Structure 1
Amino acid sequence: MASGRLFEILYYMLDVKQTTAQELAERFEVSVRTIYRDLDRLLVAGIPIQTFQGAGGGVCIDENFVLDKTVLNTQEQEQILSALQGLSALHLREYQDLLGRMQNIFQQNSHDWIEVDFSSWHQDNEMNKKFQQIKDVILKHQVIAFDYINAQGEQSHRKVYPVKVFFKGNAWYLQAYEMKKSVYRTYKLTRMHHIEQKDEYFDIHQFNQQPPSLNYHEDVSMIDVELKFEKYLGSFVYDEFEYQDIEQMEDSYIVKTKIPHHPWFLSFLLSFGSGVEILQPIALREQLKNELQKLVKVYE
C-alpha cells in the first residue's frame, strides 16, 4: 500500500503544483506524520520536493522537474507500464486507474499486450467474481469459509486464512492457512463454492510457520502411458500434452507421458471417442474396456 500511495502523492503534487502536508493527510486518509515520512522517501528517490514556511506555505515539486528524465529511463518506464498493464488486465479497477495516471506522468501509452478472462468459452463470468472476492479478502486479511470438493469428489466445509492466489497448469489456486489443522493448504478455485466472508481478521505473522513454496498436490501416484491419437485430433493433442511427449506419425500421433493414476483420466480419454487408443499400460487399457462395457449397459 505504501508504494502505491507514493505514486498517488507524486501524481497529485505534479497535478496541483503546491499543497500542504495536512491536505495530503486528509486526501490519503493517513496521519500528517505518515505524509512527512512519504515525502522523505520521495526525496531519497530523487524527487526534488521543496518546502515553504509561513502563510501560503506548503510543499511542492520543483517546477523544472521532469519525472521521466530524472528518475526512470525509457526502458524502466516501459517495464512499469507493462507490469501495470498485466495487473489491469485482471480487471482490478485500482490498477487500471493507476495505469492511466502513470501513463500521464510518463507521457506515453503502454502496449495493450495482455487480456485476462477467467471464464471459459462456455461459461459465464462467475470465475471473475470469485477471483475478485478472494482478492478483496486477501488484501483485507479477512477470514473466509467455503465448501470444497477434493480430488476424490468428497465435499467438506473449510475455514481458512487466505494468503495468495496463483495460476499454474491452466488453473487458479488459493494458498491459505487452514485453522482446523494448523497447516497451509492449496485449493483449486473451481472447486470452491459458497464462499463466505467472515467478520474475522488475521495477521499472517501470528502463524508459527511461513507459507511454503507454492505447490498443488492431489496425493495420487503417476504412471507412464502410451497413447495413439487419430490425425484429426492433432490440435487437441498439442493443447493437452507437452510438445516433447508427442511423436507425429504418418496417420496418427503417439503420446508417451506420465499422468495421475486417477479415474478422471479415463473420462478424459472417453471424451475423444474412438479417436484414441491406449497402447500402454495393459492394465489401464483393460480399465477403459471395462468402463466402456458399463457405459453400454447404461444405454441398453
Structure 2
Amino acid sequence: MPISRHFEIIYLLLQKKTLTAAEFAEHFEVSTRTIYRDIDTLSAAGIPIYSSRGKGGGISLLDRYVFNTSLLSESEQNDILMALQSLSAIKLPDTHDVLDKLSRLFKKDMNNWIEVDFSKWGSGDQQRELFPLLRQAIIAHHLIEFRYYNSAGEQSQRSVELLRLLFKDKSWYLEGHCRNSDSSRVFKISRMKEIVVTELVCDPRPVVTFADAEENVMRNAIEVTLRIAAQGAYRIFDEFAEHTITRNEDGSYSITEYFSEGNWLDSYLLSFGVLLEEVRPEYLRTRILAQLDTIRNKLGGN
C-alpha cells in the first residue's frame, strides 16, 4: 500500500475534520474495505483516528491531534522539503503530491532548487525515459533483456534479473543476476541497447555489497600512469580523484589510476590528443602508438 495514501488520509482529515469511508474510497479509487484496513493500520501506528456510525458519522481524528509543525525548526522544515524535491526531481512516485502537501502544512512557497536529468545533452526523450523504466522494472522484479557492448567491443544478448542501480564515477550502472552467465554482474547503462522489460516476474535475490559490485567492474583492471600537459587541467580535475593526481614542476600532471582493460581504454587515452605526454605500462604506450599509425593510414588514404 502506498505510504502516501496513509499520509494523505491524515492530511485530508486535518483539513476537513470528518470524511466517510465512501468519500475516501471514491477519492483514492479503492474499496471501502481497503480504507478501513488503512484506518486499522494508522490506529495501530498510534495515530488517534477513529470511525463512528450513524448520521453525521465518519472517520475523524481526535480533536486534540494536531500536526505540530513547531516541533520542526525552520531549517529542519527546509531540509525535509529540499530532500523531497530531490526525490521529485528523479521522478520517484508520489513525491510531488507529498511535497505539495507538506509545503502547505509548513506554509512555505518553495522554489524548486534542483533539476536532475540522467540523459546526455541532446540525447532525446528515449534516453530520458530509461531511468524511470529501469526503476519500475526493479521495483516490480521484472526480468529485462537487452543487447550489451562490453569494453572489448564485443556485443551479446543478455537476460537479467534486476537488483539495483549504482552510480559510480560519473556513470550509472545496473546490477543484476545475469542468466546468461548465471552470476551477479554490473552493466554500464550507456552500453545497454534495445532494452525490453518482459512480463516475467523473478523472485528477489539478495543485493551484493557496493564493494562486491565494484570488484566485478574492476575485475580486469590494470594500473596506468599518465602525464598530461598543464592545458589539460580541466579534464584532470573532472575525471580523476584528487589523491591520484600529482602536479609536476613543469606544470604538467601525473596521474596513477586503475582502469578496466579493453578497447575503450585505448579510445579514452587517445581522446586526450596532444595533451597526452606519457603512458605506462610500456605495452599500453606501444598499443596507443599503433592505434595512431592505423588512424594516420586511414585518414591518409582518404
Both proteins in one fold, TM over 0.5 = yes
Confirm whether residue 114 of structure 1 aligns to residue 114 of structure 2: yes
Given the alignment of the two structures, is residue 154 of structure 1 paired with residue 130 of structure 2, yes or no?
no
Distance in 1, matches of 2:34 and 2:143, equals 28
Shift of 1:73: 5.7
1:148–1:87: structure 2 CA closer, same or farther, 3 Å change rule? same
2:166, 2:200 → 1: CA distance?
23
* Structure 2 equivalent of residue 240 of structure 1: 239
1:141 matched to which residue of 2?
141
Q: Name which structure has the greater RCO, CA cutoff 8 Å, separation 6+.
A: 2
Correspondence list, 1:158-177, <5 A? 158-177=158-177
| Distance apart, 1:24 and its partner CA | 2.4
Whether 1:212 and 2:211 are equivalent positions in the alignment is no
- Distance in 1, matches of 2:19 and 2:289, equals 77
Work out the CA distance in 1 between the residues paired with 2:235 and 2:135: 33
Query: How far 1:254 moved relative to its partner?
Result: 2.0
Measure the CA separation in 2 of the matches of 1:50 and 1:220: 58
TM-score, with length taken from structure 2? 0.84
CA distance in 2, matches of 1:279, 1:38: 64
Counterpart in the other structure of 2:95? 95
Measured against aligned partners, the alpha-carbon deviations of 1:143-174 in whole angstroms (never above 9, x if no partner) come to 32222222322222223333322322211222
> Separation in 2 of the partners of 1:30 and 1:98?
19
CA distance in 2, matches of 1:78, 1:38: 29
**CA–CA separation in structure 2 for the residues paired with 1:260 and 1:200:** 33
| SS of structure 2 residue aligned to 1:176 | strand
22-31 or 123-132: bigger deviation? 22-31
Change beyond 3 A, Cα 1:153–1:12? farther
Query: More displaced, 37-46 or 266-275?
Result: 37-46
Q: Distance in 2 between matches of 1:189 and 1:294?
A: 30
The answer for the alignment partner of 1:23 in structure 2 is 23
Partner residue of 2:229? 230
- Whole-angstrom distance in 1 between the partners of 2:127 and 2:228: 32
**CA offset at residue 101 of structure 1?**
1.9
Runs (5+) with no aligned partner, structure 1:
none
Q: 1:215-234: per-residue Cα shift (whole Å, max 9, x none)?
A: 24246433333222111111
Instruction: Report deviation, 1:130.
Output: 1.0
| Deviation for aligned residue 1:236 | 0.8
**TM-fit CA distance, 1:74:** 5.1
Deviation at 1:235? 0.7
Counterpart CA distance in 1 for 2:151 and 2:257 is: 21
Once the two structures are superposed, the pairs formed by residues 1-300 of structure 1 within 5 Å of their partners are 1-43=1-43, 45=45, 47-62=47-62, 65-69=65-69, 76-92=76-92, 94-110=94-110, 112-204=112-204, 209-214=205-210, 215-216=213-214, 217-218=216-217, 220-249=219-248, 250-300=250-300
* CA shift in 2, pair 1:181/1:263, >3 Å: closer
1: CA distance, partners of 2:76 / 2:52? 32
Which 10-residue stretch deviates more, 158-167 or 95-104? 158-167
Unaligned residue ranges in structure 2 (runs of 5+): none
Letter of the structure 2 residue corresponding to residue 221 of structure 1: N
TM-score w.r.t. structure 1 length?
Answer: 0.84
Q: Does the 8 Å CA contact 1:147/1:192 hold for their aligned counterparts?
A: yes
- Shift of residue 294, structure 1, vs aligned partner: 1.8
Confirm or deny: 8 A CA contact 1:165 1:175 kept in the other structure.
yes
Q: 1:228 to 1:160 in 2, by over 3 A?
A: closer
Return the offset for 1:255: 1.8
Deviation of 1:133 (Å): 1.6
Deviates more, 1:1-10 or 1:289-298: 1-10
Q: Which amino acid aligns with 2:158?
A: R
Q: What is the RMSD computed on CA atoms of the aligned residues?
A: 2.8
Alpha-carbon deviation of 1:288? 1.6
* Contact 2:151/2:261 (<8 A) preserved: no
Residue pair 1:162, 1:174 contacting (<8 A) in 2 also: yes
